[in-house]
Amino acid sequence: MKLENATALVTGGTRGIGRAIAESLTTAGARVAVTGRDAARLEETARVLNVLPIQADVSNESDVGRTYKQVFDAFGHLDILINNAGYGLFKPLVDTDRAEFDGILQTNVTGAMLMGREAARHFVSRGQGNIVNIASTGAVRGGAKGTAYYASKFALRGMTECWRAELRPHNVRVFLINPSEVITSFAATAGLPQEDHPSKLHSEDIAQMVKAVLEMNDRGFTTELTIFATNPKD
Enzyme catalytic residues: 149
Q: CA–CA separation, 111 vs 41, rounded Å?
A: 20
Decide if 54 contacts 98 (C-beta within 8 A): no
Q: CA–CA separation, 144 vs 159, rounded Å?
A: 23
CA-nearest of 130, 121, 88, 81 to 105 is 88
The DSSP string of 81-132 is EEE---------GGG--HHHHHHHHIIIIIIHHHHHHHHHHHHHHHT-EEEE
